[in-house]
Amino acid sequence: MTKEKIAETARDLAESAKLSEEEGRKLYDHLLNESAKTRKDIEEKINGTVNAAVGKLPTSRKIDDLAARVEQLEKAVGSGSNADEPAAERSDLITFKGEPLTLQGTPVAVGDTAPAFIAINPALQPVKLSDYAGKVVVISSVPSLDTPVCEQQTRRFNEEAANLDAVILSISMDLPFAASRFCDTHGIDKVVTLSDYQDKAFGNAYGLLIKELQLLARAVHVVDTEGNIAHAEIVGEVTDHPDYDQVLEVIKGL
């Protein structure tokens, strides 16, 4: 884990926990010193930091936000001597007009536990996957709502939503303001639009961040009521549509 990433993580945790400047510096020094140790040691230290910070948080929502950020930190730190290794990359999964693109991170597979993430809604509020625990969740990721295929994909799921017992999330790197404008323009009222612009938590967790573009790959994931991946499709050509029929079949079978 690089010093820059440790500094960014420490800053985010300090802001979430309302730590003082001195406490924030101590948190950074602590994470820097501990980053090369075993995962077990790191987790023990992080838990101690969180327990101290939670007492400063005024609301349960901020506690949840801090817990989710700690989970992201634990994943970023990894274990032992592997902590500084770069994220996995794949250049054999997607293309744009026939040209290969590189995906960062490890794609999830059917049967995996759906990785936690935080994204931002049009009201600039954080939304977590765990907010929908116990429900079937469809995660439709697109490069940008301002492109024809992404628009059509989002509109299709909005139309299907009325007949589905599921929550549908549409996530992209578009700013929340752009997502809000898109929904108003196209009458999107049954799909929850989210932005991954802040820290790319979703893209990194699901292995969908396009390295060359810093946009999300086109994909659809279905999370079942137990929080496991029931369907995972990364669309091979960015300009193509996902297999809507297969997605609907999986949802109706849950």
pLDDT of 37 strictly over 60: no
Domain boundary among 64, 82, 100: 82
Same domain, 75 and 116: no
The count of structural domains within the chain is 2
Same domain, 160 and 214: yes
Write out pLDDT tens, residues 199-213: 999 999 999 999 999
Same domain, 55 and 102: no
Of the pLDDT bands very low, low, confident and very high (cuts 50, 70, 90), residue 88 is confident
CB contact at 8 A, 48 and 34 = no
Same domain, 144 and 239: yes
In the sheet where 137-141 sits, what is the strand order?
Answer: 126-128, 118-120, 192-195, 167-172, 137-141, 219-223, 229-234
Same domain, 118 and 238: yes
Same domain, 78 and 95: no
Same domain, 111 and 237: yes
Two structure tokens written together for 119: 């994204």
Instruction: Give dist(CA 6, CA 27) in Å, integer.
Output: 10
Backbone phi and psi for residue 127, each to the nearest 5 degrees, phi listed first: -125, 135
Q: 150 an active-site residue?
A: yes
pTM of structure? 0.68
Same domain, 206 and 138: yes
Write out pLDDT tens, residues 102-119: 999 889 999 999 999 999
Catalytic residue, from 83, 116, 150, 219: name it. 150
Backbone phi and psi for residue 169, each to the nearest 5 degrees, phi listed first: -110, 135
- In this prediction, residues 229-251 reach a mean pLDDT of 97
Higher model confidence: residue 24 or residue 108?
108
Same domain, 240 and 117: yes
Domain of 77 in residue numbering reads as 3-82
Same domain, 195 and 236: yes
Two structure tokens written together for 63: 């506690």
List b or e across 9-47, with b for residues whose CB sees 16 or more CB atoms inside 10 angstroms: bbebbbebbebeeebbeebbebbeebbebeeeebeeebe
203-to-69, 207, 215, 231 alpha-carbon distances in Å: 15, 6, 8, 17
Two structure tokens written together for 73: 């930190």
- Nearest in space to 77 (alpha carbons), one of 38, 110, 124, 130: 38
Same domain, 93 and 203: yes
Per the prediction, the chain carries an average pLDDT of 83
Same domain, 73 and 98: no
Write out pLDDT tens, residues 161-217: 999 999 999 999 999 999 999 999 999 999 999 999 999 999 999 999 999 999 999
